[in-house]
Amino acid sequence: MAHNNNYKNIILIGASGYLGKHILAEFIADPFFNVTVLTRASSSATFPSNVNVIKIDYSDKKAIVKALVGQDVAISTTGVGGLTDNFDRTLIEAALEARVKWIIPDEFTLDTTHPLAAKVPVYISKMTIAELLKKHQSQIAHTLISTGAFLDWGFDNGFLGFDITNRSVTLYDEGKHLISGTTVPHIAKGVIAAIRHPELTLNRRIFIADISFTQQQALALLEKYTNAKWAVTNINTKDELKNGEEYLKNGDFMKGIRSLIMSIAYNGEGACHFEGKTSNKALELETDSLEKIVKEAVERNKAAH
């Protein structure tokens, strides 16, 4: 595939995380790119020996600027930790100083321009970063990548409401609304494709997704591949929104975030439904079917038990 020669030096921040690991693997596999990893001084993460790793204290802004000098693209996947610390703001300030050409911030979720996204603390951080990047886009380019639900991750850990081990599901609004989602290896390929096609991605929000589906469709396939009838619990997304707000009020941050995200993703109001607006075709990204994704999730679950 043709490459754009202006964007060759890539620095990844958060590359030891769940998503970051997959993105790092894609860059390592492509000899066109020079990839560097920035990691926290306090981190115990390890990286493949052929990768250039810079380990610094993130409170030392000068050191971050120094690490960024000469980099064309900075990609952040610093997760809940980075979002809570507003790390991407520090990264943008340092990248402006170091004259980095392009930032891909830690977005990678449902459409955070949806009004309901403002209910979720980590999304407020993503929204603030998006605004800041728009403000500076004449000095540094950006791309916001909306991926919808991480499907392999979400089926494996129960986040999306499906518990494969116990053959049980929580259906939100009877599981009738469509949501979009992507497998994590396909997100990593999407990041590389976005860099290969600046003409389609610079200073924009792009949507990438393998599929759109309802929970009912996923449940039917899960019952087929587990060869079992699943136990169903029903919950209304309006009630789940209240639950999320209550959890947050009581200091249960992770539970609160999950309930709020589930409520917003599954309520049928479009924040996590990207049909008709994805860039998969334009970026020549392959997609997996719901059937394949579910079948593989059931196989992974079997292998783990």
Among 17-25, 127-135, 166-174, 217-225, which window interacts with ligand NAP (CB under 6 A)? 17-25
Closer residue to ligand NAP (CB): 147 or 201: 147
Among 27, 58, 155, 274, binds ligand NAP (CB under 6 A): 58
Tokens of 234: 């029903």
The answer to whether 48 contacts ligand NAP (rule: CB under 6 A) is no
Q: How far is the CB of 53 from ligand NAP (least distance, A)?
A: 9
Nearest to 218 by CA among 109, 146, 111, 292: 292
Is residue 263 at the binding interface for ligand NAP, with CB under 6 A as the rule?
no
| 77 lies in the binding site for ligand NAP (CB under 6 A) | yes
278 DSSP 8-state letter: B
The pattern of x and - marking residues 127 through 166 that bind ligand NAP according to CB under 6 A reads --------------------x-xx--xx------------
C-alpha count within 13 angstroms, C-beta hemisphere, residue 75: 28
Does residue number 117 form part of the binding site for ligand NAP (CB under 6 A)? no
Query: Is the Cβ–Cβ distance between 301 and 272 less than 8 Å?
Result: no
Interface with ligand NAP by CB under 6 A: which range of 3-11, 61-69, 72-80, 277-285? 72-80
Instruction: Please report the DSSP string for 121-141 in residue order.
Output: HHHHHHHHHHHHHHHTTTTSE
Say which residue the tokens 């996947």 belong to: 77
Binding ligand NAP (rule: CB under 6 A), the pick from 108, 207, 213, 247 is 108
Please state the closest distance from residue 18 (CB atom) to ligand NAP, in A.
3
Is residue 82 near ligand NAP by the rule CB under 6 A?
Answer: yes
The sign of the dihedral angle between the CA atoms of 300, 185, 75, 134 is negative
For 55-70, letters b (16+ CB in 10 Å) and e give eeebeeeebbbebbee
Instruction: State the nearest-atom distance from the C-beta of 105 to ligand NAP, in Å.
Output: 9
Give the nearer residue to ligand NAP in terms of CB position, either 4 or 43. Answer: 43
Written as one string, the DSSP assignment of 189-237 is HHHHHHHH-HHHHTTEEEE--SEEEEHHHHHHHHHHHHTSPPEEEEE-H
Give dist(CA 191, CA 195) in Å, integer.
7
Q: Does 80 bind ligand NAP (CB under 6 A)?
A: yes
**Choice between 53 and 220, CB closer to ligand NAP:** 53
168 Cβ contact partners less than 8 Å away, ≥ 6 residues apart: 230, 231, 232, 233
Give me the residues that bind ligand NAP (CB under 6 A), please: 14, 16-20, 39-40, 43, 45, 58, 77-82, 85, 87, 106, 108-109, 147, 149-150, 153-154
